[in-house]
Amino acid sequence: MSIADNLLKYKSELDPISVKLIAVSKYQEADAVLEAYNAGQRVFGENIVQELVDKQAKLPQDIEWHLIGHLQTNKVKYIAPFISLIQSVDSLKLLAEINKQAAKNKRIIDCLLQIYIADEDTKFGLGFDEAVELLRSDEFAAMQNVRIVGVMGIASNNALEKQTKDEFNELKVLFDGIKVSFFRKADYFKEVSMGMSGDYKLAIEEGSTMVRIGSSIFGKRKIKHYKEEL
Ligand SMILES: *Cc1c(COP(=O)(O)O)cnc(C)c1O
């Protein structure tokens, strides 16, 4: 199946009002992204800053780019001018840098708090208590150029269905708790980004509003060793 066919399959399956499709184009050549673009896809997710910056420069300017991979504070400046959503905020220090760079670019940058839900120690993210602590902090309260629009999580690899469902459910429960405590009147706090090629159906059942799909749209990842040169 072509990239366009794969996208069509997701378009017919997902309700665009309740679930947004993020096409994860990491390690794919720009041509593949363009193929998806020409099939109507406008939202893409990337993991590596250098790769994202390269593609953003050469691809159509109306693409909505999301960063979904771990972000180092010293790289924020490269994406601050154009990024639509940073899904991987995992510390107050990173958020402070995003706020600073957003101000320099006279923008407000939308962010998700990445929450640690997997039963592994390899994944980045905030613990539940850490997320609440960040939101309670005076430093966050003073930030004028970032907006927290929801949460993101990655379930454990190769887990049984029951465990994956429980992990997604934990994230949804945390989202609901944060909404009530911190964003009761803020309509923009509405995103629960969870679900990838292998588990997006479970994620939607548990309340996902954004699924991040890579390999089942684009096939195998092509670029093996993307150099972090910035
Ligand atoms: C790679 C990646 C995805 C997409 O994974 P697939 O299994 O290829 O769909 C989604 N989210 C994050 C954070 C990723 O790094």
Mean pLDDT of the chain: 94
Residue 85, beta-bridge partner list: 66, 110
d(CA 24, CA 88): 14
Task: Provide residues with CB under 6 Å of ligand 1.
Answer: 24, 26, 47, 68-69, 154, 196-198, 212-215
Domain assignment of residue 148, given as a range:
3-218
Query: What is the structure's pLDDT at 179?
Result: 98
Residue 229 predicted with pLDDT over 70: no
Q: Of 25, 19, 18, 20, nearest to 44 (Cα)?
A: 25
Determine the average pLDDT of the residues in 201-206. 97
- Note the pLDDT of residue 225: 59
Measured from the CA of 213, which atom of ligand 1 is nearest?
A: 9
* CA–CA gap between residue 181 and residue 35 (Å, rounded): 43
* 225 in any annotated domain: no
**Ligand 1 atom with least separation from CA of 24:** 4
Question: For 202-226, what is the mean pLDDT?
Answer: 89
What domain count does the chain have?
A: 1
Banded model confidence at residue 156, pLDDT cuts 50, 70, 90? very high
Residue of 7, 10, 14, 24 best suited for mutating to test ligand 1, as the one with most atoms within 8 Å of CB: 24
Confidence of residue 227 (pLDDT cuts 50, 70, 90): low
Supply the DSSP string of 158-179, one letter for each residue.
T--HHHHHHHHHHHHHHHHHHH
Report field, pTM of the whole predicted structure over 0.85: yes
Place of tokens 């309340």: 207
Q: What are phi and psi of 166, to 5 degrees?
A: -60, -40
Distances in Å between the alpha carbon of 5 and those of 37, 50, 56, 93?
13, 29, 24, 42
Tell how far the Cα of 44 is from the centroid of ligand 1, in angstroms: 11
At 162, the pLDDT band (50, 70, 90 cuts) reads very high
* 228 within domain boundaries: no
- Assigned domain for 229 exists: no
Confidence band for 152, pLDDT divided at 50, 70 and 90: very high
Residue 228: pLDDT above 60?
A: no
Contacts of 213 (CB under 8 A, 6+ apart): 10, 21, 22, 23, 24, 195, 196, 197, 200
CA distance to 34, 43, 178, per residue, from 61 (Å): 12, 11, 34
Mean pLDDT to the nearest integer, 57-74: 97
Place of tokens 């092509």: 222
Q: What contacts 114, CB < 8 A, 6 or more positions away?
A: 87, 88, 89, 90, 124, 125, 126, 151, 152, 153, 154
- Report yes or no on 226 lying in a domain: no
What average pLDDT score do residues 126-133 get? 96
Residue of the CA atom closest to atom 13 of ligand 1: 68
Confidence grade of residue 220 (pLDDT, cut at 50, 70, 90): confident
Q: Looking at residue 34, what is its pLDDT?
A: 98
Residue-wise pLDDT tens digits, 170-200: 999 999 999 999 999 999 999 999 999 999 9
Q: Examine residue 223 and state whether it is found in any structural domain, yes or no.
A: no
DSSP code, position 156: P
* Alpha carbon nearest to ligand 1 atom 11, residue: 212
- What pLDDT does residue 226 have? 58
Is 89 inside a domain boundary?
A: yes
Mutation to probe ligand 1, out of 212, 218, 222 (largest number of atoms < 8 A from CB): 212
Residue 47 in any domain: the answer is yes
- Tell me the CATH number at 100: 3.20.20.10
Average confidence (pLDDT) over 91-119: 97
Classify 27 as helix, strand or coil. Answer: coil
Which secondary structure element, helix H or strand E, spans residue 215, and what is its range?
A: helix 215-218
pLDDT at 119: 83
State in Å: Cα 62 to ligand 1 middle: 22
